[in-house]
């Protein structure tokens, strides 16, 4: 019996042009185009209401936007034209700044703890943080009024900047905690492992590796909290109360706010007061936009 060791010619299939597409390839291409169109539609559906809102605010508030609006206080009568929201802008920046100084460090520290020390206690803190996120802001104002403003809790500070800032910080704190925790979770574990491999301690890894890597996301979370705090009005009715002049002291005098001035402007029938209220809304949007740009620039600079 002889074995044929000669190689036999293998018949190659007919070569196919690279420009020719199969049925499956055409189906995948149609599916890809359909999903692209669907995603583009969802983006437009989200952008159109935002652009519409900005357009309405700008168109209605632009007649009252001038140098006087940012340098003078509101006139005593809503029917009088002129004047501005200087006292409200100062009060908003004052209270929101203090609230940020309170909530940002506490929220970031809590997020680091939840990320580095998972366990039963961390789950409890996370649960109550989620609950606080959904609590109506008016209840926060009532609680601060009962504990700090009225004196039932032993403080009795009265209406003012500090009471309003505390109410805003309570609203902002859970937002900072949850957003910061999610950003810290996105940091690759390989970065931490490399830091530990080089002999770094846990606190060194957290401050020199984890936090810088998550800085852009942490900044975004803080800006979201600031935007939420700057736009709140309900808790300030019971804590800051409102004022007709620029107030700089922390306690002992009611404080003004752009949201409170807008509420008063929209509740009356005179065109001058309503225009100033629309201009106040435009001012709030501009403040949040400027803070976002500055925070992003600082975060990007810190990564260089």
DSSP readout, 256-279?
--HHHHHHHHHTS--HHHHHHHHH
Give the closest residue to 177 by CA, choosing from 118, 113, 232, 121: 113
**What does DSSP assign to residue 239?**
T
257-279 pLDDT tens trace:
999 999 999 999 999 999 999 99
Cα 175–105–148 angle (5° rounding)?
75
Please give the distance of CA 93 from its chain centroid, rounded to a whole number: 16
The pair phi, psi for residue 150, each rounded to 5°, is -80, -20
**What does DSSP assign to residue 233?**
-
Domains of the chain and any CATH numbers = 64-303 (1.10.3720.10)
Mean pLDDT per 10-residue interval, the chain, length 304 residues: 54 57 78 92 90 91 90 92 93 95 94 88 89 90 92 81 95 93 91 89 90 87 89 93 92 93 92 93 89 76 62
Q: Is 116 exposed, middle or buried (CB count within 10 Å of its CB: 0-12, 13-18, 19+)? A: middle
* Contact indicator for 195, 208 with CB cutoff of 8 Å: yes
State residue 279's pLDDT score: 94
**pTM score, whole prediction:** 0.84
* Contact indicator for 126, 110 with CB cutoff of 8 Å: no
Give the closest residue to 204 by CA, choosing from 303, 301, 116: 116
State residue 297's pLDDT score: 78
State residue 162's pLDDT score: 94
SS3 readout for 84-119 = CCHHHHHHHHHHHHHHHHHHHHHHHHHHHHHHHCCC
How many residues in total does the chain contain? 304
């Amino acid at each position: 019996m002889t074995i044929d060791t000669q190689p036999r010619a293998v018949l190659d299939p007919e070569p196919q042009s690279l420009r020719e597409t199969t049925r499956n390839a055409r189906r995948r291409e149609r599916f890809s185009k359909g999903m692209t169109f669907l995603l583009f539609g969802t983006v437009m559906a989200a952008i159109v209401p935002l652009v519409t809102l900005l357009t309405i605010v700008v168109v209605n508030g632009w007649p009252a936007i001038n140098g006087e609006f940012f340098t003078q206080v509101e006139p005593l009568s809503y029917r009088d034209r002129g004047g501005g929201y200087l006292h409200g802008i100062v009060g908003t920046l004052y209270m929101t700044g203090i609230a940020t100084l309170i909530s940002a460090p506490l929220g970031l520290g809590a997020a680091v703890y939840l990320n580095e020390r998972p366990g039963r206690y961390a789950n409890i803190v996370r649960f109550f943080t989620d609950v606080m996120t959904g609590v109506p802001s008016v209840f926060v104002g009532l609680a601060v009024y009962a504990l700090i403003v009225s004196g039932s809790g032993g403080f009795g500070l009265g209406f003012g900047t500090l009471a309003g800032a505390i109410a805003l910080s309570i609203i902002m704190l859970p937002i900072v905690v949850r957003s910061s925790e999610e950003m810290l979770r996105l940091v690759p574990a390989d970065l931490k492992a490399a830091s530990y491999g080089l002999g770094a301690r846990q606190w060194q890894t957290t401050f020199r590796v984890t936090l810088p890597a998550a800085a852009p996301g942490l900044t975004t979370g803080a800006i979201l909290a600031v935007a939420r705090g700057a736009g709140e009005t309900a808790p300030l009715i019971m804590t800051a109360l409102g004022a007709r002049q620029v107030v700089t002291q922390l306690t002992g005098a009611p404080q003004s706010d752009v949201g409170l001035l807008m509420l008063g402007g929209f509740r009356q029938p005179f065109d001058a007061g309503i225009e100033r209220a629309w201009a106040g809304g435009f001012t709030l949007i501009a403040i949040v936009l400027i803070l976002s740009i500055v925070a992003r620039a600082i975060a990007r600079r810190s990564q260089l």
